Amino acid sequence: MILVVITLSEVVRVSVLRRRVNRVATISVHTSPLDQPGTGDAGGMNVYILEVAKRLAALGIEVEIFTRRTARDLPPVAELTPGVLVRHVTAGPYEELDRADLPGQLCGFLSGVLRTEAMYDPGRYDVIHSHYWLSGQVGWLAKERWGVPLVHTMHTMAKVKNLLLAEGDKPEPAMRVLGEEQVVEVADRLIANTAAEAEELISLYGAPRERVAVVNPGVNLAVFQPASKGAARRRLGLPQDAHVLLFVGRIQPLKAPDVLLRAAARMLVEDPSLRSRLVVACVGGPSGNGLAHPSLLSDLAAELGITDVVRLAPPAPQPELADWYRAADVTVVPSYNESFGLVALESQACGTPVVAAAVGGLRTAVKDGVSGVLVTGHDPHDWARELAALARRPDRLAELAANAVQHATGFGWSATAARLADVYAGAMAQLHRTPVAVNS
C-alpha cells in the first residue's frame, strides 16, 4: 500500500463529498427562539436562531435547539416546524434568570444535553452551533464528548461592549471575558455577522483568521415588505398626517432609546410647529440594566416635556411589527453597539429608511446616504439635526425609502442558512480529514 499525499483542497473536497450535514445541535442557553423578541433577554439572537433553523430544515438539515426550561408547563420537546425541534432542558428553577446567575446552571444544562444525545445511537449530531458565550461553554464540552465540530456565534462580545459603554451602563464582568476567550480558543469555526466583527474577533480575542467565517444575518422578506403606510397607520391608530419616528427594541442603556427622546425634544425647541404632527413611537420592553428603571421612557418624556408626542407600545409579533415599520417615516437605531442590527434591516425591507449609529454591524445593515443615514456619536443635537433635515425633505425620504427596499432584498435568511451549511460542512471536513490511501 502506498500513502498518497494530496492537496488540502482535494482532501476537503473528498471529505465534504463523503460527509453530509444531517442534524445540527443548536445551543441557546439563556433565551428561547419561542420567546417574543423585544423584552427580557429576547432579541435579534432569537430571531436569528428561529429563522436559520427553519431555512436549514428547508435544505434537508434537521435542527434541534436546546434551551433552558423557564416554566414548569413547557413541554420537554416542541416541534417548531417539520425538521426543527426545541428541547427544553431543566437547569435551575422554572423561571427567568438574570444572565449573571446562569453560569451556575451550566453544569445542569450540559447534563441535560448529554443525556438527550445518549438516548440515541452514536453520531446523532453532526455539528454543534452555539449562540452567545454561555452556550459556547456547553458546546465546548459537548464537542469533546461527541467528537463533532463546534461552530460558535458570539452575537455580542464583552470586550467590544466594554469599549462602547452607554452612560450609566455596567461593564461586562471578567468571567464573561474569560469565557469568551475560552470558546474562541476551542471553536472549530467562529461565525461573524460582518467583516468588521471578524476583525474584532481576530484583533481583540486572537481568533485564528482561518477559523473565522463571515455570514451576514438576513430578514424575513415574506413578512417585512412594503405595503400601504396609510393602512398601517389606521390599524395602529396613528394620524395620517403625522411625522413618525420609530424605535424598536429592548429598553436598556445599550440600545439608547433616550437619545431619540432627547433628539425629539431638541427638534421641538428648534421648530415648535412640528409638535402638532410629531409622533415618537417606541416599541419594546425593559431588559438587562433597563429592568432597574422600567418606567425610564415615560419618566424621561415627562422630564423633557414631550409626553404628548411619545407613544409607548409593548413588543409586537412580526406581522404587527411590520405595520409599525410601514407606518413610520424613519426608524431610529441609536445603539451604542450592534453586532448587526436586524431592526434596521427589517425597517428597510418595509420601505422605511433608517437613521442609525455608525457602530458595529449597523455600518453593513445600513448603506449610508443611500438607504439611510449613519450618525457618529450619541449627542442628541447631532441626531436632532439629521432627523429634522429629513423631516423637511419628503423628497429625500422617498428616495431613501426606495433605496432601502433594494438594499434589504440582498439579505435573505435562505442565503444565510446556505452559507452556514457550507461552514458546517467545512468544519466537519477539517475535523475528520485523513490521508487518502490507494492500493498499488
DSSP 321-377: HHHHHHH-SEEEE--S--SS-HHHHHHHHTT--EEEES-TTHHHHS-BTTTEEEESS
Asked whether residue 7 is marked as a ligand-binding residue, the answer is no
Asked whether residue 43 is marked as a ligand-binding residue, the answer is yes
Q: How would you class 210 by CB atoms within 10 Å of its CB: exposed for 0-12, middle for 13-18, buried for 19 or more? A: exposed
Asked whether residue 30 is marked as a ligand-binding residue, the answer is yes
pLDDT of amino acid 290: 57
Asked whether residue 19 is marked as a ligand-binding residue, the answer is no
Asked whether residue 69 is marked as a ligand-binding residue, the answer is no
pLDDT at 439 over 90: no
Asked whether residue 250 is marked as a ligand-binding residue, the answer is yes
CA distance 33 to 66: 10
Asked whether residue 44 is marked as a ligand-binding residue, the answer is yes
pLDDT bracket for residue 19 (50, 70, 90): low
CA distance 33 to 48: 8
The structure's pTM equals: 0.86
Asked whether residue 132 is marked as a ligand-binding residue, the answer is yes
pLDDT of amino acid 292: 63
CA distance 229 to 84: 35
Residue in the structure block whose three cell numbers are 438539515: 61
Q: Which of the four CATH numbers 3.30.2290.10, 3.40.640.10, 3.40.50.2000, 3.40.50.720 does domain 229-410 have?
A: 3.40.50.2000
Residue in the structure block whose three cell numbers are 428541547: 87
Asked whether residue 288 is marked as a ligand-binding residue, the answer is no
Q: Which residue has the higher pLDDT, 124 or 43?
A: 124
Asked whether residue 352 is marked as a ligand-binding residue, the answer is yes
Asked whether residue 255 is marked as a ligand-binding residue, the answer is yes
Pick the closest to residue 53 from 86, 10, 7, 18 (CA basis).
86
Pick the closest to residue 44 from 187, 301, 217 (CA basis).
217
**Kind and range of the H or E run holding 417:** helix 413-431
**Kind and range of the H or E run holding 192:** strand 189-192
What is the arithmetic mean of pLDDT over 321-330? 98
Asked whether residue 13 is marked as a ligand-binding residue, the answer is no
Q: State which amino acid sits at residue 350.
A: C
pLDDT at 269 over 50: yes
pLDDT of amino acid 56: 98
Asked whether residue 176 is marked as a ligand-binding residue, the answer is yes
Residue 37 sits at φ, ψ, to 5 deg, of -60, 145
Which pairing describes strands 127-131 and 189-192: parallel, antiparallel, or unpaired? unpaired
Which pairing describes strands 436-438 and 2-4: parallel, antiparallel, or unpaired? antiparallel
What is the arithmetic mean of pLDDT over 133-146? 96
Asked whether residue 323 is marked as a ligand-binding residue, the answer is no
What is the arithmetic mean of pLDDT over 357-362? 94
Task: Give me the residue spans of the domains in the chain.
Answer: 23-218+414-432, 229-410
Asked whether residue 338 is marked as a ligand-binding residue, the answer is yes
Q: How would you class 2 by CB atoms within 10 Å of its CB: exposed for 0-12, middle for 13-18, buried for 19 or more? A: exposed
CATH number for the region 23-218+414-432 comes to 3.40.50.2000
